[in-house]
Amino acid sequence: MVAVKVLHGTSDKIIQAQFMTEMGTLGKLHHFNLVRLYGFCFGKDLTALVYEYMANGSLDKYLLKENNTLGFEKLLEIAVGTARGIAYLHEDCQQRIIHYDVKPANILLDRNFNPKVSDFGLAKLHNRDNTHISMTGGGGGRRTPGYAAPELWMPFPVTHKCDVYSFGMLLFEIIGRRRNVDNNVPESQEWFPMWVWKKIDVGELQDSTLVSELLLEKHKEMVERMVKVALWCVQYKPGLRPMMSAVVKMLEGSEEIPQPSNPFQYLMDNGFTAALPHRYSSYNCNSTTTVTTSSYCDSSVIAVDSNIVIADPI
């Protein structure tokens, strides 16, 4: 079995050539926490990416359903494995690879629930000498609200630290086993990351009911560690966010985690927080934002028989 992800195509020859080059490179990546990209086909009306099949689907269905079957230790393993995969893209490849769309739906789980970072349809390769990347028109229009870093919503240069921010938002959802924005909870808890910060700021984190398993003593240190890492990852200024290799060490407990500063202070000072839950509550895939790189909105992943032959794009 393989999985096929279908994207909308483009007739722009420059984008087509760039996309084919990048997919050829991504297809050569090998890491335990990355989904293998077997091949792709490309056309003006349709693009398809062919991945290895993951028996347990995507992480979001285990986080956002009431019948969650994953224990907290397994969720921590998934968080660490995901961080390792992103660290490999950022730090261990010849060219730095920025994923740009890290979220639970793009973390797939194999038959043993090992996490694999997937969906490289929006990933970009960048020379390590270029510390910042210009994205005309604001990159946020092709990202998922609620996970996209603040700099992606503005016409400013971005770095690989935008993936760190997205991972932090993913980590919050792992901690809470809920969407970061939920209009069905008390207003003070609507935006989960802000609520968590307020709890940790006044020393009430371990007294709060973030998830039911927090009541178990053995999980308290683990959760506090994850919360601190998440807060560092979502710092408003990219330079304050850690490298993903450091995130791995902090989650594993092999590196001390400093007390995080308030990542939402800028938003609070400028009166943006009231609008945040509403802004992040929906996502229009047909955004009209103009970007200079591959602009695709995803359809669902389908499982198909493995006897598909994909031509070598190189």
Domain boundaries along the sequence of the chain = 58-296
Question: Which residues lie across from 6 on neighbouring strands?
Answer: 48
DSSP sequence for 143-188 = S-TTTS-GGGGTTS-B-THHHHHHHHHHHHHHHHTS-SB-TTS-GG
pLDDT of residue 268: 74
User: 63 near 174, Cβ under 8 Å?
Assistant: yes
DSSP state of 264: T
Main-chain dihedrals φ then ψ at residue 117, nearest 5 degrees: -70, 130
pLDDT on residue 55: 94
The amino acid occupying position 306 is: S
Closest CA to 235 of 166, 165, 157, 148: 165
pLDDT tens by residue, the chain, 314 residues: 888 877 776 667 776 776 777 677 778 889 999 999 888 877 777 778 888 899 999 999 998 776 567 888 899 999 999 999 999 999 998 888 999 999 999 999 999 999 999 887 567 776 555 555 544 434 444 568 889 998 888 877 789 999 999 999 999 999 888 888 877 776 667 788 998 898 888 877 765 555 555 446 677 788 889 999 999 999 999 999 999 999 999 999 999 999 999 999 887 777 665 445 444 443 333 333 322 233 233 333 333 333 333 333 33
* Separation between Cα atoms, residue 224 and residue 264, nearest integer Å: 18
> How many other C-beta atoms lie within 10 A of the C-beta of residue 309?
5
The span from the CA of 67 to the CA of 40, in Å, is 35
Contacts of 230 (CB under 8 A, 6+ apart): 168, 169, 171, 172, 175, 193, 196
Question: Is 207 annotated as catalytic?
Answer: no
pLDDT of residue 6: 78
Note the pLDDT of residue 291. Answer: 29
The CATH class, in words, for 58-296 is mainly alpha
Cα–Cα distance for residue pair 281/183, rounded to 1 Å: 8
pLDDT at 180: 87
| Active-site hit among 101, 119, 163, 298 | 101
